[in-house]
Amino acid sequence: MHHFRRRLVLAAALALPLLALPGLARAQAYPNKPIKMIVPFAPGGASDFVARILTMRLSTELGQTVFIENKAGAAGNIGLDLAAIAAPDGYTVFLGNVGTLAINPAIFGSKQKTTATDFAPVSLVANAPDILIANMAVPVKTVGELVEYARKTPGMSFASPGSGSLNRLEMELFRSEAKLDMVHIPYKGGAGPAIIDIVGGHVPIMFVPVPAAMQLIKGGKLRAIAVASATRLSTLPDVPTLAESGYPQVVGGSWQAIMFPKNTPAPVIARWHAALVKVLARDDVKAELMQGGVETATSASPKELADFIHDEARRWGAVARASNATAD
């Protein structure tokens, strides 16, 4: 009996560290069930395109299925809100972008319930540079020619997928830098309807994500004037950047980032950061994303991503306020 009691005491003592650190024990077992990735936009868009490539590779890397749940609406805010209130257990991840994390707070103002501070950042994953396109009948081929033509055509119009969209804000920034008098024509339903009217000659120019215009550019139905990226794109090597065309401030694109609900355990964040860095370094992943005009991107640390989002929110927020951009 004496030996039996000693064994009980010893077993209890050994169990105490595990009882005291349940979070650690769960993190070590993570993941042990499927993981949901909330994409705040409809299937078929740039975010969905990136998510489908990532989830397939992450499922293999993490040893559990990572599946997509599209929650579109309110410029991405419906999915943003749902992701923020999910259990911080590592089984709900959010694919945010420049709109949901950096622009929406400026255009929705006090109506914005959720911001980037309600999340635990992990890493950037992709950037879809935007491109300045024109109808083929517009008599310009370069940024310089476009500026000269617009100055001779006061009130020249430009399209966008919405008043508070990144594409509208990029044009407002370019217009401000080039001192152009232009009229904004917002469209509903994403970039598609606006692009159709550009092709049809109803509106002369706009900024769009490269993936949305790539095939029309290569098919000779749209003219690529310049890309709003830091460097030229390998998929469109002959198209100059706005920076090299004299407008270094006009650098933008629909970057995307992985976020978890606030208070998600640090070991889970670390596991995902390592997995993303590994997956995004793969040549096949880079090639598949680049086919759609999307570049891979990673953050050195979650802190670096938090700082990046803060800077982007400040930059585009200033443009939104200066142009009186509002939520559609």
Q: What is the pLDDT of residues 64-87, one digit of tens each?
A: 999 999 999 888 999 999 999 999
Here the tokens at position 146 are 């476009």
Partnered with residue 92 across adjacent β-strands are 36
Nearest-5° Cα angle at 71, 70 to 72: 105
pLDDT tens for each residue of 51-60: 999 999 999 9
Parts of the chain with a pLDDT under 50: 1-2, 4, 6, 8-27
Give the pTM: 0.83
Predicted pLDDT of residue 253:
86
Q: What is the pLDDT of residue 28?
A: 57
Specify the domain boundaries for CATH 3.40.190.10 within the chain.
129-227
Strands 295-296 and 223-227, how do they pair?
unpaired
Domain with CATH 3.40.190.150 in the chain: 33-128+253-322
Structurally, at CATH architecture level, domain 33-128+253-322 sits in 3-Layer(aba) Sandwich (3.40)
Q: Hey, what long-range contacts does 106-111 have (CB within 8 A, 24 or more apart)?
A: 106/164, 106/313, 106/316, 106/317, 106/320, 106/321, 106/325, 107/75, 107/163, 107/164, 107/320, 107/325, 107/326, 107/327, 108/75, 108/77, 108/164, 108/327, 111/327
What is the pLDDT, as a whole number, of residue 8?
44
Q: Which CATH class is domain 129-227?
A: alpha beta
- Measure the CA dihedral 99/214/248/180, to 10°: -80
pLDDT of residue 203: 96
The Cα–Cα gap between 226 and 240 comes to 5
The answer to whether 290 touches 235, Cβ cutoff 8 Å, is yes
Euclidean distance between CA atoms 225 and 216, whole angstroms: 13
Helix, coil or strand: residue 74? helix
